[in-house]
């Protein structure tokens, strides 16, 4: 096995420089812990940015991978795919939505959603194509989902982006109402804005947006790429709000490490797609779908959303208690095990580095926010261990 310095040199020489990487290379994982090339262990509270829902090396995932190796790995969507059909049946049954399109990632799921609602908006001679999105949102990096992302810093250098997107402040119903016109087809929101710092939608806001969409004949797209499948303490984040979207996007946790994305829609909306309107080579292949079925069955069968709700409550309380006792914590927000920590008196990148040195991996967002996305299987003991490390990391960061 190559050491870290060799891996860094090889990466610098041959891999495009599109990421700011932490100075470690992870090579093994078990449960909530990972190990680097030097054999050092870490509590993983990044979780592949919300991907490793079942942690590392989960028996159900490994068994599904082994089982899938004895089945055809790929056929293309020119043929019927039994695991794909079974996974679609499971997702539609759990979500209450009618049809699924499978792809490989969250950004592809959002691209599919954008294309679907625009095609729906052009039926019967109509010309409805505009999508209202939120400021500080993040929907992906392909051109369509990037255009839907309400953060100008991600747009720089890629203009002109596809048009037809209008951005309004998150949790501001009046601004959203004012943005609707005769060409509007949909509203696209994250129930919890993850990438910008973990900001949940207000309870009344999402309910009112649903009512507004119904009143104006608009579609509601909810991007649950990061928040979906148990992360927030419910299987789907929209369940917290007592509503159901017209279109739903999922990815990350669905494969627990195997790339897969899904775009779900009501039957009446899904019919806007016909053969040739959209497609993908790898989306919904037998391997990814067999693994995703095992992941979904484990999340539902072990009631991991309920576990995440309890664990998240414990984690937020412990972080708020840390703030009361020691300072450094201005606010703790989130749902379930999707947690944002707003810092004061210390910088997030410095705390991230100090935590890493002590065996905890967390994600710094900008200069003042830490994002915590531990696996849904995390124990109370591991949560307490992580908060203890964060306290030591914040103390060290404050002394710099």
In tens, the pLDDT along 166-219 reads 999 999 999 999 999 999 999 999 999 999 999 999 999 999 999 999 999 999
Q: What is the pLDDT of residues 67-122, one digit of tens each?
A: 999 999 999 999 999 999 999 999 999 999 999 999 999 999 999 999 999 999 99
The domains located in the chain, with CATH, are 4-57+303-398 (3.90.1150.10), 71-301 (3.40.640.10)
Q: Which pair of structure tokens corresponds to residue 365? A: 């967002």
Q: What angle do CA 349, 355, 360 make, to 5 degrees?
A: 120
Q: How many of the other CB atoms lie within 10 Å of CB of 88?
A: 20
- Residue 124: pLDDT band with limits 50, 70, 90: confident
- Section 123-139 average pLDDT: 95
- Section 283-296 average pLDDT: 97
pLDDT at 125: 85
Which DSSP category does 202 fall into?
P
pLDDT at 87: 98
pLDDT at 1: 76
Helix, strand, coil percent content, the chain, rounded in steps of 5: 40, 20, 40
Residue that has been written with the tokens 């994002």 in this structure? 371
- Section 24-52 average pLDDT: 97
Q: What is the pLDDT of residues 301-351, one digit of tens each?
A: 999 999 999 999 999 999 999 999 999 999 999 999 999 999 999 999 999
pLDDT at 397: 96
Percent of all residues in the chain with a pLDDT value above 70, rounded to a whole number: 100
pLDDT at 281: 95
pLDDT at 396: 96
Q: Cα separations (Å) of 176 from 170, 244, 261, 393?
A: 9, 19, 28, 41
Note the pTM of the prediction, 2 decimals: 0.96
pLDDT at 399: 87
Q: What is the pLDDT of residues 255-289, one digit of tens each?
A: 999 999 999 999 999 999 999 999 999 999 999 99
* Whether residue 395 has pLDDT greater than 90: yes
Q: Cα separations (Å) of 347 from 128, 195, 274, 362, 364?
A: 45, 17, 50, 13, 9
Residues classed as catalytic = 138, 223, 252
């Amino acid at each position: 096995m190559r050491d870290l310095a060799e891996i860094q040199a090889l990466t610098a020489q041959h891999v495009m420089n599109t990421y700011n990487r932490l100075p470690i290379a992870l090579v093994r994982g078990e449960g909530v812990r990972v190990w680097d090339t030097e054999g050092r262990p870490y509590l993983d509270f990044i979780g592949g940015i919300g991907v490793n829902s079942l942690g590392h090396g989960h028996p159900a995932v490994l068994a599904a991978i082994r089982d899938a190796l004895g089945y055809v790995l790929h056929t293309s969507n020119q043929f019927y795919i039994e695991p794909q059909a079974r996974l679609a049946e499971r997702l539609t049954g759990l979500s209450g939505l009618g049809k699924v399109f499978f792809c490989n990632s969250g950004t592809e799921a959002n691209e599919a959603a954008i294309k679907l609602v625009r095609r729906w908006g052009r039926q019967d001679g109509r010309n409805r194509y505009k999508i209202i999105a939120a400021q500080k949102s993040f929907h992906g990096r392909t051109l369509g989902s990037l255009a839907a992302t309400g953060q100008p810093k991600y747009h720089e250098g890629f203009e002109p982006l596809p048009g037809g997107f209008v951005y309004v402040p998150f949790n501001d119903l009046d601004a959203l109402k004012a943005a609707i016109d005769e060409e509007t087809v949909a509203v696209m929101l994250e129930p919890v804005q993850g990438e910008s710092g973990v900001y949940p939608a207000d309870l009344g806001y999402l309910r009112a947006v649903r009512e507004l969409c119904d009143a104006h004949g608009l579609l509601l797209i909810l991007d649950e790429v990061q928040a979906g499948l148990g992360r927030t303490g419910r299987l789907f984040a929209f369940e917290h709000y007592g509503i159901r979207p017209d279109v739903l996007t999922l990815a990350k946790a669905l494969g627990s490490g195997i790339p897969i994305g899904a775009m779900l829609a009501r039957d009446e909306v899904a019919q806007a797609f016909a053969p040739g309107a959209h497609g993908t080579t790898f989306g919904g292949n037998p391997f990814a779908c067999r693994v995703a079925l095992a992941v979904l069955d484990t999340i539902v069968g072990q009631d991991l959303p309920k576990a995440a709700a309890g664990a998240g409550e414990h984690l937020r309380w412990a972080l708020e208690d840390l703030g009361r006792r020691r300072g450094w914590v201005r606010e703790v927000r989130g749902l379930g095990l999707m947690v944002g920590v707003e810092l004061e008196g210390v910088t997030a990148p410095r705390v991230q580095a100090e935590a890493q040195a002590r065996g905890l991996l967390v994600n710094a967002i900008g200069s003042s926010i830490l994002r915590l996305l531990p696996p849904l299987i995390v124990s109370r003991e591991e949560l307490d261990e992580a908060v203890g490390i964060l306290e030591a990391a914040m103390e060290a960061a404050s002394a710099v």
